[in-house]
Chain A
Amino acid sequence: EAGVTQFPSHSVIEKGQTVTLRCDPISGHDNLYWYRRVMGKEIKFLLHFVKESKQDESGMPNNRFLAERTGGTYSTLKVQPAELEDSGVYFCASSRGLLNEKLFFGSGTQLSVL
């Protein structure tokens, strides 16, 4: 069974540019989460999809961030325009069920905004 895959693994962009991160969850996992970790800090929740619907987007920092999950399969997270403080590692995770389930994480995308 393939794990959660994320692309790209690294992205270096300049302030003001646009970046799109992609996540392919484990097949059959309805729940998809995006998280971000800034160096030394917590793994911070961004949003949660159940299939194609946004269950909770309370962690999205501002309207420069847009997440989609068309068809309930893979998801994209677009940052437009990127700012310096958006730098960090973006993790995607998936789970089959909603409660009392372990999350399976991808390897993350290291985003550096210069």
Chain B
Amino acid sequence: DQQVKQNSPSLSVQEGRISILNCDYTNSMFDYFLWYKKYPAEGPTFLISISSIKDKNEDGRFTVFLNKSAKHLSLHIVPSQPGDSAVYFCAAQPTSGTYKYIFGTGTRLKVLA
């Protein structure tokens, strides 16, 4: 049972344009959401996070939007750069009980020069 879903396995975007990566979740107990970027042969690195009390968080070129009613979050990258080409994972942590972070399957972003 996949509680965090990234339905697009891959995405190609032209350099300078906006990249939008999507993530859906099923567990209403999730309270904290994160995006990670992963290059080949490396571990995931933290990008940006958002708490469920907010609907938007921005950090430079990266913005995460949270729609709690739709159980949906998205990561916007503007403008996209070739160095952004990587696999992006969204993750979620529940408020109580277990504190484990649940990850999605990832979306491979390719930014074309």
* A interface residues (Cβ-Cβ under 8 A, vs B): 4, 31, 33, 35, 40-45, 48, 55-56, 58-59, 91, 93, 98-100, 102-108
Are the C-beta atoms of A108 and B32 separated by less than 8 Å? no
Interchain nearest-CB distance for B61 vs A (Å): 18
Quick check: B34 and A102 within 8 Å, CB to CB?
yes
Give the contacts of B71-113 with A (CB-CB under 8 A): 89, 91, 93, 95, 98-106
Is B63 interfacial (CB 8 A cutoff)? no
Task: Check if A105 sits within 8 Å of B44, measured CB to CB.
Answer: yes
Leading 4 A-B pairs by shortest Cβ distance: A105-B43, A43-B103, A102-B46, A42-B105
B106 contacts A42, CB within 8 Å? yes
Q: What are 12 A-B residue pairs whose CB atoms fall within 8 Å in the complex?
A: A33-B100, A41-B105, A42-B103, A44-B103, A56-B98, A56-B99, A91-B44, A99-B95, A100-B32, A103-B46, A107-B42, A107-B43
Within 8 A of A (CB), among B2-57: 2, 4, 9, 31-32, 34, 36, 41-46, 49, 51
Q: Give complex CA distance A48, B88 in Å.
A: 23
**Which among A40, A45, A58 is the interface contact of B101 at CB below 8 angstroms?**
A45
Q: Pick the contact of A42: B4, B31, B45 (CB < 8 A).
A: B4
Q: Which of A58, A91, A105, A107 has the most CB of B within 10 A?
A: A105
Interface residues on B, range: 20 to 34
Residues of chain B within 8 A (CB-CB) of A58 are 98, 100
Q: How far is the CA of A48 from the CA of B99 in the complex (A)?
A: 8
B93: chain A residues within 8 A (beta carbon): 99-100
Q: Are B101 and A100 in contact (CB under 8 A)?
A: no
CB distance from A37 to the nearest CB of B (A): 8
From A103, which residue of chain B is reached at the shortest CB distance?
B101
Nearest CB on A from B21, distance (A): 15
Contact A4 B43 (CB under 8 A): yes
Q: In the complex, what residue of chain B is closest to A41 when comparing beta carbons?
A: B105
Cross-interface CB contact of A43 among B41, B49, B89, B98, cutoff 8 Å:
B89
Q: Which of B41, B102, B105 contacts A40 (CB 8 A)?
A: B105
Q: How far is the CB of B29 from chain A (nearest CB, A)?
A: 13
